[in-house]
Amino acid sequence: MKRICVLPGDGIGPEVIESAVRVLQSVTDELEFKYAHIGLGEFERTGYPITDETLQQMKGADSCLFGAVTSSTDNEYKSPVLRFRKELDLFANIRPIRSLLPLLGKPYMDLIIVRENTEGMYTQDEAVDLDGVTTFRRVSRHACERIVRFAFDRSRSWKKRRICCVHKANVLRKSDGLFLEIFRDISKDFHGDIETSEQLVDSAAMSLVTDPSRFEVIVTLNLYGDILSDVAAGMVGGLGFAPSGNIGTAHSVFEPCHGSAPDISGKGIANPTAAILASAMMLRHLGMVRESDSIQKAVQSAYSSANLTMDIGGTKNSEAFTDSVIDVIMEE
């Protein structure tokens, strides 16, 4: 029995996570779900967006399934997502982006973005002076080495033959230059096995829109990966189609890429696809490959059978689409 810490969060988070849990329960009875609180609602209740008790519960689980949180302008509110990434040392963020249905004017996409998850602009280290704000950006050799090696190792396990290092070393010569140097060094260990390329981040953003077939795996720094994965998601229907996994050596958290979308919260129309696919990623990470494949195939089958969600002009609300996925699973 695998223990799963479920963190529904704010806004549409509880709605899409409910769908994901329902789908998980349809493929296996080998998961034990334990729920915990996170986000703005928890901050308003306790003064903490994530408590030490919740972090301990996450650390004690085999994996975690997270929905979304709403941010706050309150200076006392500190990002719970950045905190759990740091506390659990979730150094790698994996964001697979794949077209589930043809979209007019948009090319087919099937790629994986591997993003450094702990440093860069997300250290929140800023200094205010009389004339403005200076943001300090951290890029360490240790973080670069482990994310690049992780990306190469995973590319091999995913049977991917091409990996592209996305950077801005032509301007940020020391920090991005270090990242690029490490990519080149580690790539030598995979020579003849994985084809490598390098591309500037602005050029890569354009290529994702015009010719995504040139990419199989992208490895990049924190901010770049955050932005590029949203660009890629827009090419396959939106963030409702984009799952992600935060991976460390001992812990993991899986989530949809989208936010809490308070404007549609409670309406039952949020697209649960990203959360359902994130749950499939979690199962694969836990070694439950057959169950993971079953979910992925069921989601694809649901869309292929014209069970379209409302965010792409369909008629299926959150519950109805989830029912469609479960129906496919139960027919196997």
Q: Do 253 and 119 form a contact (C-beta atoms < 8 A)?
A: no
Catalytic residue among 48, 77, 168, 303: 168
Q: Is 202 a known active-site residue?
A: yes
Q: Do 139 and 179 form a contact (C-beta atoms < 8 A)?
A: yes
Catalytic residue among 89, 230, 323, 327: 230
Catalytic residue among 48, 226, 303, 316: 226
Q: Is 153 a known active-site residue?
A: no
Exposure string over 307-327, b if 16+ CB within 10 A, otherwise e: bbbbbbebebbbeebbbbbbe
3-state helix, strand, coil in the chain (%, to 5): 45, 25, 30
Catalytic residue among 77, 122, 224, 303: 122
Token pair for 209: 């829109």
Name residues whose C-beta falls within 8 Å of residue 146's C-beta, 6 or more positions apart in sequence.
Answer: 91, 92
Exposure string over 190-228, b if 16+ CB within 10 A, otherwise e: beeebebeebbbeebbebbeeebeebbbbbbbbbbbbeb
Catalytic residue among 74, 193, 202, 211: 202
Inter-axis angle of helices 289-304 and 318-331, nearest 10: 120
In terms of Cα–Cα distance, which of 83, 88, 94, 87 is closest to 116?
A: 94
d(CA 64, CA 57): 9
Q: Is 226 a known active-site residue?
A: yes
Where in the sequence numbering do the catalytic residues fall? 122, 168, 202, 226, 230
